Structure 1
């Protein structure tokens, strides 16, 4: 099911046939260096289990979606809205893009589309984005999309993290 489009991308529900492409993305160290624990050694069954867990409420409009190029239908990553705060008026956004597609504006396109979708379709009141401070690209994307830094601290692994927010 198509959730929303951007100028160059389709963001849609993940299908069984997407897992091989997503697994290749998840198993590249560079792609995963700023994602939670940085794990880049995924088995397909682990990835499927992750998607099942986070997509339990996909019918409600939030979860992890596939990101594909409109022109070729190639999967280049994922985009997600998460109920991290047990309050559907506040969702967390996140995305992973294959490094072959970095520095081409896709992060900004995805982030802005998630913001628009969450506010207009899901009627979310606030979105949060959390990232490691060393992830300069995501910091810039958050700021380009109108998000403001609201918090910083240190994760359990000792790395500095930042939290950005935007309200409807």
Structure 2
């Protein structure tokens, strides 16, 4: 286990996560403000294997973990911590059936606490302006707007937020 919250826990991805991982990564609504690209089962299996292989890489800077509910150990999404030598970026994706249950806020709060234990000083997050749910979460958690721009990949208005820990 990487960290836990009141209702959730976070662990490394495993191959047994393929079915719910594929459900997550093949839902156009989940990906609407991310890549926007729905992938096949085979493509998602390859991506899952690649993400799992990164756990063994020394100086890995791209961590994607599984989010599970404590009550039934059901996979509900993924959470990310990406380091690029300048910023430590956080992100998350939840299966659509788990939206509007407060899990986004809860996982972000847990990730912030986890990052404090890693002695990370500042976190950033990038959110498409249309993604009001994620915008509200970041604002509630005291992230501040530092930049507005049009994203290169999605060509959408996007905002960069940061939080000093």
The TM-score normalised by the length of structure 2 is 0.89
SS at match of 1:18: helix
SS at match of 1:146: coil
Higher relative contact order (CA 8 A, sep 6+): 2
Contact 1:20 1:44 (8 Å CA) reproduced: no
**Could you tell me how far apart the structure 1 residues matched to 2:57 and 2:133 are?**
29
Structure 2, unaligned runs of 5 or more: none
**Could you tell me how far apart the structure 1 residues matched to 2:58 and 2:102 are?**
26
Displacement after TM superposition at 1:146 (Å): 1.4
Superposed CA RMSD: 2.1
1:160/1:49 CA distance change after superposition, 3 Å: farther
Q: Which residue does 2:77 correspond to in 1?
A: 77
**Could you tell me how far apart the structure 2 residues matched to 1:133 and 1:28 are?**
20
Structure 1, unaligned runs of 5 or more: none
**Could you tell me how far apart the structure 2 residues matched to 1:166 and 1:57 are?**
28
Number of equivalent positions: 162
**Could you tell me how far apart the structure 2 residues matched to 1:98 and 1:65 are?**
14
Contact 2:13 2:52 (8 Å CA) reproduced: no
Q: Which residue does 1:153 correspond to in 2?
A: 149
